[in-house]
Amino acid sequence: MVSDGCDLGCALGAAGAGLDVVTQAPLVKTIEPDAQLRVAMAEGHERYKHAYNVLKDI
């Protein structure tokens, strides 16, 4: 989900100012999972895990 506001920044600002009220900005759109991207990400993650294991002791 994507918001058009400052949900984290506003929350941190309110916490720093000693305020007790925190609200979430309205959502502008919802992003649904994409099966093709999931496959691409899984392949890339496998390459990353292999590279990490090879290079971690260098």
Euclidean distance between CA atoms 24 and 2, whole angstroms? 11
16 in helix, strand or coil?
helix
Instruction: Output the pLDDT for position 22.
Output: 77
Are β-strands 2-3 and 27-29 bridged in parallel, bridged antiparallel, or unpaired? antiparallel
Instruction: Output the pLDDT for position 23.
Output: 84
Q: What would the two tokens of residue 2 be?
A: 């994507």
Instruction: Encode pLDDT of 30-47 as tens digits.
Output: 989 898 899 999 999 999
Q: What is the pTM of this model?
A: 0.41
Q: For the chain, what are the domain ranges?
A: 2-55
Q: Phi and psi for 3 in degrees, rounded to 5?
A: -110, 160
Banded model confidence at residue 18, pLDDT cuts 50, 70, 90: low
Q: Phi and psi for 18 in degrees, rounded to 5?
A: 80, 15
Is residue 15's pLDDT more than 80?
Answer: no
